[in-house]
Amino acid sequence: MRRELLVLHSASVLKTIDAPRVPLGPAEDVRAALDAVFGEGTWQDPSEGLFDGPGFSLLAKMSIFPLVETMTLEVWGERDPFRHINALCAARGWQAFDLGSGEQVAPR
């Protein structure tokens, strides 16, 4: 099953629509955090990386202006990737939301 997630900094979640977002961080730091949790990814360009986990795949897409404000994660495969996504978000103060349902999926 394919799912698309939106990742935001936890401090951005409760802000109004007009308030500036708290960034996830510099692109190099965000890429390093993804590599640390999912193993070294294949980066097509600085804003898009593909990861192959144990029984799942993940495509990360970042907005870089020059800091990463948001990131989407597209995940698919036979095994559950959410233990890894939870570890990523919990360690960095981020939250992940399912774009289909709006449900918070990490951290849990």
DSSP string of 37-100, one letter each residue: HH-S-EEEETTEEEEEETTEEEEEEEEESSEEEEEEEEEEESS--HHHHHHHHHHHTEEEEETT
* Over residues 76-101, mean pLDDT: 94
Q: Cα 30 vs. chain centroid, distance in angstroms?
A: 9
Residue 75 structure tokens: 């995940």
What pLDDT is recorded for position 16? 64
Residue 21's identity, in one-letter code, is R
Q: What is the pLDDT of residues 49-67, one digit of tens each?
A: 999 988 999 999 998 888 9
Options 3.30.310.250, 3.40.50.300, 3.30.450.70, 3.40.228.10; CATH of 3-106: 3.30.310.250
Against a cut of 0.85, is the pTM above it? yes
3-state class of 8 per DSSP? Answer: strand
* Separation CA 56–CA 75 (nearest Å): 7
| Per-domain residue ranges of the chain | 3-106
Residue 69 structure tokens: 């404000």
* Separation CA 31–CA 36 (nearest Å): 9
pLDDT averaged over every residue in the chain: 91
